[in-house]
Amino acid sequence: MKNTHHDIPPALAQALRQARRVVVFTGAGVSAESGIATFRDALTGLWSRFDAQALATPEAFAADPDIVWGWYEWRRAQVLRAAPNAAHRAIADLARHVPELAVITQNVDDLHERAGSPCVTHLHGSLHAPRCSRCASPQAFAVDVPDEPEAGRRITPPACTACGAPVRPGVVWFGESLPAQAWNDALRAAQGCDLLFSIGTSSLVYPAAELPRLALAGGATVVQVNPAATPLDAQAHHNLRGAAADVMPCLLASAGFGEDS
């Protein structure tokens, strides 16, 4: 496993050692090395004729539930076959070394939980919590692990066991409000932390993209981990240019929080 060494600025290693309240804020990039396509390139293969932003909307589901449900079942199959990567494991490890750690994710996969993070705040819901599109009652999947639907296959969503309406994915679509509890918890964590890591997100989607700026306003040190530049670059105190699965283990090691400690 290549483990590109990353030079972690000593000031950052020191800040991590001294931090009391840490926030780890993640996007699709943290799951990239688990083989999960990031959101903006989630439409590989046959999906490429669709725009993710257009598919992840209530309007798309109302217009063509089979194509939307098929897309989410394809993504769920990917997640169920994926394993957490070194970034998820380092983030889970971090909880053992800092007094308070809040893991806040925009992702709808459960890889943080499967890596051992005890408490994860999902701002945009979860692939694993289908609910009725009309009465919102929680529903079960017809099949636990969908056979790998080839990208682009239409799948008719199951009918709600209570009212018969189509079951929808348990995610937050564009134009939909974030779960109030999750958003309030995230606001409180961001405004009260001393150190926030923004990992693997293009920082384009609101209100989630506000969180690093709120942490800055609260006097926190903000660190970005991303192989590419994002709108957050200008405000972040540190921009660690690299893949999360490489950078995060180096980060913990730099603070003396390595695997064996």
Token pair for residue 184? 């309030």
Q: Is 50 in the site for ligand BV8 (CB under 6 A)?
A: no
Pairing mode, strands 167-168 and 131-132:
antiparallel
Least distance between ligand BV8 and beta carbon 18 (Å):
25
Contact between 39 and 28 (Cβ < 8 Å): yes
Residue 151 binding partner per list Zn ion, ligand BV8, none, with a CB distance cut-off of 5 to 8 Å that depends on partner kind: none
Nearer to ligand BV8, 203 or 254 (CB): 203
d(CA 127, CA 240): 29
Active-site option among 5, 122, 124, 128: 124
Pairing mode, strands 195-199 and 131-132:
unpaired
Q: Is 226 in the site for ligand BV8 (CB under 6 A)?
A: yes
Query: Binder to ligand BV8 among 17, 20, 40, 96 (CB under 6 A)?
Result: 40
Q: Is 32 in the site for ligand BV8 (CB under 6 A)?
A: yes
Q: Please say if 97 is a catalytic residue.
A: no
3-state secondary structure of 176: coil
Least distance between Zn ion and beta carbon 55 (Å):
22
Query: Binder to Zn ion among 163, 207, 217, 256 (CB under 5 A)?
Result: 163
Q: Which helix (H) or strand (E) covers residue 21, if one does?
A: strand 21-26
Please state, in angstroms and as integers, the Cα–Cα distance from residue 164 to each residue in 19, 157, 158, 161, 186, following that order. 51, 11, 9, 6, 34
Q: Is 135 in the site for Zn ion (CB under 5 A)?
A: yes
DSSP conformation letters of 40-99? GG---GGGGGS-HHHHSSHHHHHH-HHHHHHHHHHHHHHHHH----HHHHHHHHHTTTSS
Site for ligand BV8 in 108-147 (CB under 6 A): 108, 124
Query: Binder to ligand BV8 among 28, 90, 214, 255 (CB under 6 A)?
Result: 28
Nearer to Zn ion, 65 or 84 (CB): 65
Q: Is 219 in the site for ligand BV8 (CB under 6 A)?
A: no
Contacts of 94 (CB under 8 A, 6+ apart): 22, 24, 101, 252, 257
Query: Was 192 annotated as part of a binding site?
Result: no
Q: Is 140 in the site for Zn ion (CB under 5 A)?
A: no
Q: Is 241 in the site for ligand BV8 (CB under 6 A)?
A: no
Half-sphere exposure of 27 (CA within 13 A, CB side): 25
Contact between 70 and 152 (Cβ < 8 Å): yes
List residues binding Zn ion (CB under 5 A). Answer: 132, 134-135, 160, 162-163, 165
List residues binding ligand BV8 (CB under 6 A). Answer: 27-29, 32-33, 38-40, 53, 56, 106, 108, 124, 171-177, 200-202, 204-206, 225-228, 230, 243-244
Binding-site residue numbers for Zn(2+) are 132, 135, 160, 163
Where in the sequence numbering do the catalytic residues fall?
Answer: 124
